[in-house]
Structure 1
Amino acid sequence: MLTVSELAKKYGVSEATVLSWIATGELRATNVSRSARSKRPRWRISQAALEAFEAARTPTPVQPTARRSKRPDGVIEFYR
């Protein structure tokens, strides 16, 4: 289980950025404070949640598009 500050150091971002990932639902975290109504939650991130977060944010390679062949000049195609 990682804390917010440990994760911020690992990725080189601020703690506010990690908290915003948690708030938006991009990163799943568990509140381990004594009370669920606590004014200050204590978030812990599991390794499985971290792997899912990284997999979702990993860019996929762009597939190359097929090039269209040029029509010869002066040829009109009536039928396709």
Structure 2
Amino acid sequence: MNTSTKMLNPPQIAEMLGVGVAKVHGWIESGELTAINVATTSGGRPRWAIEPDEFERFKRSRSSTSTPKPAKRYRQPAGVIEFYK
């Protein structure tokens, strides 16, 4: 962990992405978003901190890049010969 960077918390990430805090917690629990538990006591409620670099990686992994559709291929009817193309 780089101590010179400011860590993000789930409410900040939820606000940036326009989702609920529960959704961010779900990403953390599923392992999609890597977070560090910075709670002072073990066994209690976790306090999650996310590095900005990890947040950028997460955003890149979830961005949608549309693939171009393949060109439609038209089948020529059987028995038809085209002389002029």
Q: TM-score, normalised by structure 2?
A: 0.75
Is structure 2 residue 78 aligned with structure 1 residue 48?
Answer: no
- Cα shift at 1:5: 1.2
Structure 1 stretches (4+) deviating beyond 6 angstroms?
none
One-letter amino acid of the structure 1 residue matched with residue 57 of structure 2? A
Q: 1:10, CA displacement in angstroms?
A: 1.5
Q: Counterparts of 1:5-44 in structure 2 under 5 Å?
A: 5-35=11-41, 37-44=42-49
**Equivalent in the alignment of 1:71:** 76
For residues 26-74 of structure 1, the C-alpha deviation after alignment (integer angstroms, 9 at most, x for no partner) is 1111111123x33201100111110111011001122220321331452
Cα RMSD after superposing both structures: 1.6
- Out of 2-11 and 49-58, give the one that drifted further: 2-11
TM (normalized to structure 1)?
0.79
* SS of equivalent residue, structure 2 residue 68: coil
Structure with the largest fraction of strand? 1
Q: Does residue 1:3 correspond to 2:9, yes or no? A: yes
Unaligned regions of 5+ residues in structure 2, if any? 1-6, 81-85
Taking only the aligned residue pairs, the percentage that are identical comes to 39
